[in-house]
Amino acid sequence: MAYEDLSKAIIANVGGKDNVASVVHCTTRLRFKLKDQKKANDDAMKATDGVISLVKSGGQYQVVIGNNVADVYDTLVKVGGFQDGGEVADDYVDTSNMSLMDRFIDLISGIFNPILGPMCAAGMIKGFNAMFVALNWETQTSGTYIVLNAIGDSLFYFLPVILGISSAKKFGINGYLGATIGAALCYPTIVGMTSSKTVLYTLFKGTIFQAPIHMTFLGIPVISMNYTSSVIPIILAIWFASKVNKLARKIIPDVVKTFLVPFMVLLITIPVTFIVIGPIATWLGDAIAAGVSAVYNFSPILAGALMGAFWQVFVIFGVHWGFVAVMMTNIAAMGYDPILGLSLAASFAQTGVVAAIILQTKDEKTRSIAIPAFVSGIFGVTEPAIYGVTLPRKKPFILSCIASAIGGALIGGFGTKVYIMAGMGIFSIPDAISKSGIDMRVYGLIIAMAVATVLGFAFQMIFGKNSVDAPLEGEVAPAVAAAENNANAEVTEIADSKKSNAAADSYNEAEVVLAPLSGTVVPLSEVKDEVFSSGAMGKGAAIEPSEGKVCSPVDGQIAMVFPTGHAIGLRSVNGAEIMIHIGMDTVELDGKGFKTLVKKDQTVKAGEPLIEFDLDAIKEAGYEVTTPVIVTNMKNYHDVKVLTSGKIKISDKFLDLQ
């Protein structure tokens, strides 16, 4: 089965099937919700062939796969035996440790993720249909236009029905209940009531909430709103329905739950939505739209520059979903959105940088990643470019953000807005076509895309050449990254073991590693952390320190110093790569109690002080102080032997590398 081995590896690295609460996918990522993220093996996941990168954001464990994510997902669901296509209700997921922002992003992405593909497809058809009319290729009265418009417009017109289904899944109720609630909001008689000439009386007269009342429900006034294409009302309605559903299941006998629970949910939720939830949600949407417009109107160019500069950062952390929700709200309230369109140059800036890297690199592996990333970037899918090419090299990513900022400023300057949620990349151009047809705002978008591409390419060719084949941030020694797995730390600096050993298949010279601490020798197998004790990181031993001082165990160079001071990596003059990790989970102290005495790339002699730490303070904070000393490039040695046991002092003979 295609992707079977990859799927098995991914499931193992997330902590096994039993640790998966749910898994869905978007354009390029598998999005896991794990019961316990500490059980996942971040380093092994990053090192897995077929995995581009790993992102933890919004309460999700996101495994970046690339353009073939859908095929990998299908295989993973089968291999893992996940029920319901990997999706489960939120009741199965503990969100207590998630921040309010993480919960919001998780909610929005969970609702919009399942419908993103059909939404973009419908938007593309709707956009191209508008373009065909603008180019006089067809008329609005032709049968072709009517059919294509029905295809493109139906999802957006009946968006409450679609969102009712996905929201129902998110909130853990029957999807058909969600669809029914959404359909009630789009019911023709209800929609037509907003234009009724029969006005019983006016509610909130003289205020900004003034509303003519065309009908009542049991004598209660119903404020007529047009809920077609709306977003917030249906999401809030389904949330309310989930609460009613939960209550109904508690009080209704099991024998009649099948029909009386949905009966109670519909009978309560829909009237409450029309009377209370719908109007309040609509006013809230109007307020959001007004706020967004105020920011945009202050300075469209500044707004475009900021949106362009940070859009790719938003994508990395998954917070771009919040803008998608705001966009849909704006389109429903105003008929257009001025904000999301400012980001449309970002994928082209990224693509321009990648095109330059393809020409600059001498590494075939880099080129093999960059070429498909360039192609997908043209169509707006930039994760392969970000995670596989630019972000690991830092400077190209920054250059793409600068080019994107300029492109965004141009879009703002041209006054470009988007009127539909269509495709990405080049397929997003029809988004900007209004009822008036193709005008300078559309041409301005195209110009901005072209400028961002050219600038991204030029910036990389001029300023980014030295970063192309330099050691990558992602090419860290696997042992060091694994050591930080349970602390959810990112390894940002470490020696590139691939570079130092790429030209040699022979073993390194034998050498003796001295003790970096004074204390008691502890076998690695007894360390209270499976990452170390399993030997997966490499061979060595640990020391239970008797004083808070770490000294260099070899003559060599500092390869890596963690900002928190709790770990350090060295490379000896003979090529041994050694990692010293002070205590377990001590990264959580955020540097408190640690004092680093050396810097990266500094040359040191055996016995030279490296780190001082407050042994008593670390213990009082509840952390283990057992310190593993690991040889991480074991592939270059036949064996590593521990030369002593019991008490040991700094600079005593400790490990024999053979």
Catalytically annotated residue among 26, 120, 186, 401: 26
Alpha helices by DSSP H, 415-514: 440-463, 478-483, 497-501
Which string of b and e fits 324-346 if b means at least 16 CB within 10 Å?
bbbbbbbbbbbebbbbbbbbbbb
**Distances 372 to 199, 557, 558 between C-alpha atoms, Å:** 60, 38, 37
Q: Whole-angstrom Cα distance, residue 176 to residue 262?
A: 10
Q: Whole-angstrom Cα distance, residue 457 to residue 371?
A: 14
DSSP assignment of 255-281: GGHHHHHHHHHHHHHHHHIIIIIHHHH
Residue type, 238: I
Give the tokens for residue 466: 């030295």
Q: Whole-angstrom Cα distance, residue 99 to residue 112?
A: 20
Whether residue 389 contacts residue 396, with contact meaning beta carbons closer than 8 Å, is answered with yes
Q: Whole-angstrom Cα distance, residue 647 to residue 654?
A: 11
Angle at 465 between CA 463 and CA 466, to 5 degrees: 100
Residues 6+ away with beta carbon under 8 Å from 215 = 193, 200, 222, 224
Number of Cα atoms under 13 Å in the Cβ half of residue 297: 6
609-613: strand order across its sheet:
549-551, 609-613, 594-596
Whether residue 387 contacts residue 85, with contact meaning beta carbons closer than 8 Å, is answered with no
Q: Whole-angstrom Cα distance, residue 560 to residue 170?
A: 43
Q: Are strands 60-64 and 29-34 parallel, antiparallel or unpaired?
A: antiparallel
Could you confirm whether 581 is annotated as catalytic? Answer: yes
Q: Whole-angstrom Cα distance, residue 48 to residue 563?
A: 27
Residues 6+ away with beta carbon under 8 Å from 434 = 336, 417, 419, 441
Q: Is 401 helix (H, G, I), strand (E, B) or coil?
A: helix
Residues 6+ away with beta carbon under 8 Å from 22 = 32, 33, 86, 87, 88, 92, 93
Task: Using the structure block, give the residue that is written with the tokens 């993220």.
Answer: 37
Q: Whole-angstrom Cα distance, residue 292 to residue 352?
A: 30
Could you confirm whether 26 is annotated as catalytic? Answer: yes
Q: Whole-angstrom Cα distance, residue 61 to residue 18?
A: 15
Catalytically annotated residue among 25, 214, 320, 581: 581
Residue type, 509: E
Which are the catalytic amino acids?
A: 26, 581
